[in-house]
Structure 1
Amino acid sequence: MCRGDDPTCASFAEHRRRFRAKVDETLAPERRAFLRSGFAATGGAAALAAGGLSLVTPALAQTSAARGPARPAYHHLPASAETVHWGYFSRLLKPQAEIASGDIITIEALTHHANDDAERMVAGDPGAESVFLWTKERKGVDRRGAGPMDAPIGAGGGLGVHVCTGPVAVRGAEAGDVLEVRILDVAPRPSANPRFKGLTFGSNAAANWGYHYKDMLTGDRPREVVTIYEIDATGGRDWARAVYSFRWPGVTDPSGVHHAVIDYPGVPVDHTRTTRNYDVLKGFRVPIRPHFGVIGVAPKESDYVNSIPPSYTGGNIDNWRIGKGATLYFPVAVPGALFSVGDPHASQGDSELCGTAIECSLTGTFQLVLHKAADLPGTPLERLDFPMIETAQDWVVHGFSFPNYLRDLGANAQSEIFEKSSVDLAMRDAFRKMRRFLMTAKGLTEDEAVSLMSVAVDFGVTQVVDGNWGVHAVVRKSIFPGPAS
């Protein structure tokens, strides 16, 4: 059904008016307040910086604001078969939206696990139905992964699994710049099935790529188990509950390929062949912290890059701190930056141990601010070459087994990364990045930085399931002297 995004529809104008009115009504309070305050355009960022709360200095905030429009424009990018790229980043992709620095954009993101329970996560949702369409005759989105289109398992080879919406091009962005991404809001995508009104659902797959998979104690070993979780889409409760679980039964997809394990994204599960266990995690409440597992810009090293291993331009970072109120900084590698978001999660623990989080479709509202390379010398963002998170309380540095695996591992990087990662390498990278951050952005000597890291910086395992394993380092802003103390 046309939602105001199909110019060939006979009622295009009316559908577009209704759809935009609905979007505006949903976002109206925050959007109006944001535009009215002028925060996005000028003063807010500078005020944060002046209070010692931001990596963006007052001078950089004013300079970057002057390059953009006086007032930010608002954009909306729905998720559909035409607006997503599945399982890869690419510098060759045509932008689905082009915006100015400082503009605000709402982006819908779908979980690639929606077909684990299509009744709850796909049915009745036109955008999701277009993406997950798969019959013997055609697929809504054919390429799924950075592999060859004629791969026997399916187009793209499943070498990358995440449904990414975008990319969004930022006017004037060039290699060497830094893109600041402010996450203004994150909201669940409600189930469109009338049977589940007011609810949304997510899937957790304890899968073959999980850290636990070859180290199990009981039952059939190894095995893959999928657990479906329920979330209150209205915000009435801040926790998720397990609904049921099932063993992966082995699935033959509509194209006739059998999947004994979970090895290709979006395969529709035939629940006539599953046994549902409704007696799972009874009484347990899982705190939700909605966030985006995949967020970042396009790398320059290859035309098609597997969405699974994270790298210097972000991607599949899988850090639950990437939620509402967080700001991220990415080094720009290609013209336009080509920002995309996907892999939405309702909740995840550090390590994402079994292979996935609660994979749950979300909608995010972002403000994208471009900081030009010429303006960065002398600021904390100078020479930034890795993704970084900033919250009201913390700075978070990301270390990976290989900081830029596409460069570090050469021609076979996208296969070798899955064999060469370790927590030790990721820890070493996180240490080096935090040391550099404290010395360059905060003016500490090396000895001061090392001491501070040992007594006041928390290092944690971000994930051990994404090929390029991650360790994050968290430092609280309150420990620094001055206005932030």
Structure 2
Amino acid sequence: MSIHSVRRSQTHLSWSKSVPPVLTIASGDVVSFDCLDASNGQITASSGVADILVAKLAVMDQVNGPIYVQGAKVGDVLKVELMELTPAEWGWSALFPGFGLLADEFEGTALKLWSIQDGVATTTMRLRGSDVAVSVPVKPFMGEVGLARGAEGHWSTIPPYRTGGNMDTKHLTKGSTVYLPIEVDGALFAIGDGHAAQGDGEVCGTAIETPMRVTVRLTVLPASNTPPSMLAPHYESTNSVPVGEAYYTTMGIATDLREAARDAVRGMFGYLVSQHGFEREDAYILCSVAADLRLHEVVDMPNYLVGMMMPKSVLPVP
């Protein structure tokens, strides 16, 4: 196993098989990334609302990479183990005009700067005309985790796709593992958009955005050893709610929210049948009685992302 590093300047702004890799590694190698925040450095710890008004959206949501993984072939799956996630000592959240689930109801602009210390992020908010300190627990994760698409052209880093991307899924914390379908040889993995904390859905369009140092292990899984039902990324997590419960989660990604939910269920149903040997009817029933559908991401149009989270405690050993 080798350990590699990617600098914060080694970024790109689209998912494309034509973007040249910054690094070539062997399957099973570890890579550390030094990532700027999602604003690409346009917002700093001393910024004000004026910086939001002049920020260039076209250069935001950059991703570090891509990484070419030797032996990765179309149809295989890339296993991404999230080993370390270290946020900066500050972060920001904002309202951008025209963005967010209630964009038509919030026409103004706002910016909150957060201090991140000892596992807690703190900012000041207005409550009945007075400034009040508000704190939330820090649970770092990366919003962008993905691979190049097989389709021709350059694809925006704003929405999620079948190969990952801007999934904005708060459960992808340290110790979690993401499985990404490979559509191009070499996989071309990239990562970015550090978050110190976020709720499911990221409804206003930003989390606590922060620069992040992240370390991952990238391993190629042959198509013969992976679920045939991978319509979108899968992941395993142990830091979800309730805390300490381990989950296997399948994702659905679609322009229609109901279809995204249906795809998430199809993915779980297929996983239970192919990897655990459940009969079809039993797998469908177990999806209904034990798994939770979660709105992981609802603002990065045109795609919604829904996760079906199955407690691993109810699953027999495959």
Identical columns (%): 32
CA contact (8 A) 1:297 1:330 kept: yes
Q: Counterpart in 2 of 1:228?
A: 113
Deviations 1:414-434 (A, max 9, x none): xxxxxxx33222212212222
Alpha-carbon shift at residue 385 of structure 1 (Å): 3.9
Deviations 1:40-87 (A, max 9, x none): xxxxxxxxxxxxxxxxxxxxxxxxxxxxxxxx011111111xx1113x
1:382, distance to aligned residue in structure 2 (A): 4.0
Higher share of residues assigned strand: 2
The CA distance in 2 between the partners of 1:229 and 1:118, in whole Å, is 8
Q: Is the 8 A contact 2:229 2:271 kept in 1?
A: no
Secondary structure at 2:187 match in 1: coil
Deviation of the 1:396 alpha carbon: 1.1
- Specify the code of the residue in structure 1 equivalent to 2:3: Y
Matched, 1:333 2:183: yes
Specify the SS of the correspondent of 1:435: helix
1:479 correspondence with 2:314: yes
Match for residue 387 of structure 1? Answer: 233
- Aligned-partner SS, 1:358: coil
The residue number in structure 1 matching 2:69 is 170
5+ unaligned residues in a row in structure 1: which ranges? 1-71, 121-152, 190-199, 216-220, 246-277, 402-420
TM-score by length of structure 1 reads 0.58
Rounded to whole Å, the distance in 2 between the matches of 1:335 and 1:109 is: 25
CA RMSD of aligned residues (A): 2.3
Of 229, 239, 255, the residue aligned with 2:120 is: 239
Separation in structure 2 between the aligned mates of residue 226 and residue 188 of structure 1, nearest angstrom: 19
Which SS does the other structure have where 1:338 is aligned?
Answer: strand
Partner amino acid for 1:473? M
Tell me which of the two structures has the higher relative contact order, counting C-alpha pairs closer than 8 angstroms and 6 or more residues apart: 2
Partner of 2:84: 185
Counterpart-to-counterpart distance in 2, 1:362 and 1:322: 14
Please report how far the alpha carbon of residue 89 of structure 1 lies from its aligned counterpart in structure 2 after TM superposition: 1.3
Q: Residues 211 and 354 of structure 1 are in contact (CA less than 8 Å); yes or no, is this contact kept in structure 2?
A: yes
The structure in which a higher percent of residues are helix is 1
Question: CA 1:305 to 1:240, structure 2 compared with 1: closer, same or farther past 3 Å?
Answer: same
Distance in 2, matches of 1:349 and 1:399, equals 18
Name 1:397's counterpart in structure 2.
Answer: 250
CA displacement 1:347-395 (0-9 Å, x = unmatched): 110010011111111011111111233xx1xx44345342111124110
Give how far 1:117 is off.
2.9
TM-score, normalised by the number of residues in structure 2: 0.88
User: Are the equivalent residues in 2 in contact too, given 1:213–1:223 (CA < 8 A)?
Assistant: no
User: Is the Cα contact below 8 Å between 1:109 and 1:163 reproduced in 2?
Assistant: no
Quote the residue 1:422 is aligned against.
Answer: 256
Q: How many Å separate the matches in 2 of 1:84 and 1:460?
A: 30
User: What are the superposed Cα offsets for residues 185-217 of structure 1, whole Å, 9 maximum, x if unpaired?
Assistant: 11123xxxxxxxxxx2111122321112223xx
Correspondence for 2:141 among 291, 314, 334:
291
CA contact (8 A) 1:389 1:395 kept: yes
Q: Deviation at 1:243?
A: 4.5
In structure 2, how many angstroms separate the alpha carbons of the residues matched to 1:448 and 1:306? Answer: 39
Work out the number of aligned pairs and report it. 300
After TM superposition, the structure 1 = structure 2 runs for residues 36-51 of structure 1, keeping only pairs within 5 Å, are: none
Paired residues of 1:178 and 1:381 also in contact (CA < 8 A): no
Distance across 2 between alignment mates of 1:385 and 1:427: 12
Residue 279 to residue 389, structure 1, CA distance change in 2 (3 Å): farther
Offset, 1:173 = 1.5
Q: Which AA in structure 1 matches 2:146? A: G
Matched, 1:203 2:96: no
Task: Tell me if 1:343 matches 2:170.
Answer: no
CA distance in 2, matches of 1:451, 1:178: 27
Deviation of the 1:244 alpha carbon: 6.8
Q: Secondary structure at the match of 2:160?
A: coil
Aligned AA (1:294) = E
Name the residue aligned to 2:300: 466
| 2:25 paired residue number | 99
- Separation in 1, partners of 2:170, 2:213: 15
8 Å Cα contact 1:397/1:434 also seen in 2 = yes
Whichever of the two has the greater Rg, that structure is 1
| SS of corresponding position for 1:117 | coil
- 2:162 is equivalent to residue 312 of structure 1: yes
Offset from partner CA, 1:160-190 (integer Å, 9 cap, x none): 731211001111212111111111111123x
Amino acid at match of 2:12: H
Query: What is the aligned partner in structure 1 of residue 51 from structure 2?
Result: none
Secondary structure at the aligned position of 2:122 is classed as: strand
CA distance in 1, matches of 2:222, 2:257: 34
Q: Which residue of 2 aligns with 1:54?
A: none
Measure the CA separation in 1 of the matches of 2:25 and 2:107. 47
| Alpha-carbon distance in 2 for matches of 1:428, 1:382 | 16
Task: Give the secondary structure class of the aligned counterpart of 2:133.
Answer: coil
Give the deviation of 1:279 after TM superposition. 5.5
Aligned twin of 2:44: 117
The answer to whether residue 209 in structure 2 is matched with residue 359 in structure 1 is yes
